[in-house]
Amino acid sequence: MRKIMFLAGVLFALTAVAANKNFQHSLPAGKKPWTHENFIAGDGKFTFVIIPDRTGSERPGIFGEAIKKANMLQPDFIMTVGDLIQGPTDINKQSPDDLRKQWQELLTFTEKSQAPFFYLVGNHDISITRKGFPRANEDSAMVWKEFAGPNTYYYFIYKDVLFICLNGMEGRDARPVQVGITGQQTAWALDVLKKHPDVRWTMVFMHQPSGWISPAYEKIEKALSNRKHTSFAGDWHHYIKFKRAGKDHYVLATAGGVSEMRGIEYGEFDHITYVTMTPQGPVVTNILLDGILSDDVVTSQNIKRHYTEFLDSEPFVYNKKHSWRAIMDVFALHRGTGNEYFTINGNQITLPGKAFKSRKCVEKVIALDHPAPGGKTFKLVASNRAELPKGKNSSFNILLQALDADNKVVQSQGLTIKENLFWKYRKSFIKVPANGKRLQLVISGVNFDSSSIGEARNIFVVEEKN
């Protein structure tokens, strides 16, 4: 009986491979983390579409339009970079049934995809266990497996190109030490690369770009170093192309995810990425819902943000012909700590600079390398949120200060948050008095406890014309 069952299993496997000789995977029979395997035929050259982040406070109507436009292009299949559902972000709507409703809504979009639609884990799809959400990781992973099968990371080969889809949220559960990519997943990825050394190209997908500087990924990257490969990520909600270890890396923008939508020069736009795999390698094109963009539309040289992480090329240098502009993006400020953005969480701070601690206040001071002569006006802009303790006179502050020649503060103005606030883009102005000489940025939390959180993204300072 066992022999008959074994032979039946082998026959099933051979039949599955024979049905589509170009497509291979290592997953067992049953539900898979993709919709179907009816690929559009063709040899060697093929195309696929990547759809960026949908959620993190979705702007409705855009994600469905992105799938509609992808269908017009008739790709062989569609990839994503994660964040397909909102996930457990509302403390009153975090049950498995709430998550199932979000997946059911997602399926109303993905079922309209004419090509196979491959899911990738984002931090909203499988979330992180945290205060107020004690089962966020476990429950969201459970619901993922109900709708997309038991595998949260996987690989497949299509026309001799290896696609590796990683899960950067695997170890974000209730264990005391949380990691994104676990040792088990790292060993799996290294084994996949070892088993498939001769593919013509390797594509690596992972939601969080910050995972690229994790110890686990560095092991995977070392194994990738001698092969042709390209990496794609999302999460930041703005687009940029750069090189890491000499290879092209892309962070995609949005397809309905929360965004300030300040335009191409900031990498903030809704798009789909259209990839044509040729014998020479991938050709990457970005398509807006109303136009087409080349893959180098935003690079480290022309983006109006400041990047020092990950880059082989020189970071952004502002044009001296224009008004002074110090752009302190949090991804540059954290200097390789692995944190995605500046966070005050209890007494933990990740920005560089001198730290001051007392019983009631913890703060970070960053000197700005720019003179601030009297009479000049500066605009401070930041995206920020806060979770403050109840019953305390607490605040989260992002302040711009003018100092005189003796380094005494002569003017202080900025953003002060005294209530729980989800991400909001805010600005403040400071006019430097006559004795002002230079500027500094101060970020502080007042009356914080271990549950307090203050976060700031996309901090920049602009000299205004008086």
Average confidence (pLDDT) over 400-414: 90
Between 17 and 173, where is the model more confident? 173
Select the highest-mean-pLDDT range: 193-197, 318-322, 374-378, 428-432.
193-197
Encode pLDDT of 90-119 as tens digits.
889 999 999 999 999 999 999 999 999 999
Encode pLDDT of 262-307 as tens digits.
899 889 999 999 999 998 899 999 999 878 788 888 876 677 654 4
Q: How far apart are CA 273 and CA 53, in angstroms?
A: 12
Q: How many CA atoms lie within 13 A of 430 on its CB side?
A: 29
Main-chain phi, psi angles of 295, to 5 degrees? -75, -15
- pLDDT > 70: percent of the chain: 78
pLDDT at residue 348 tops 80: no
Q: How far apart are CA 204 and CA 224, in angstroms?
A: 10
pTM of the model: 0.70
Q: How far apart are CA 432 and CA 373, in angstroms?
A: 7
Q: Give the model's pLDDT for residue 320.
A: 40
How much is the mean pLDDT over the chain?
A: 81
3-state helix, strand, coil in the chain (%, to 5): 20, 35, 45
Encode pLDDT of 155-168 as tens digits.
999 999 999 999 99
**DSSP readout, 421-463?**
EEEEEEEEEEE--TT--EEEEEEEEES--TT-EEEEEEEEEEE
Encode pLDDT of 22-80 as tens digits.
889 999 999 999 999 888 665 678 999 999 999 988 999 999 999 999 999 999 999 99
Q: Give the model's pLDDT for residue 332.
A: 32
pLDDT at residue 347 tops 50: no
Q: Give the model's pLDDT for residue 362.
A: 64
List the domains of the chain with CATH numbers. Answer: 19-294 (3.60.21.10), 325-464 (2.60.120)
Q: Give the model's pLDDT for residue 42.
A: 59
Encode pLDDT of 350-391 as tens digits.
344 434 444 456 666 666 656 677 888 888 877 777 888 777
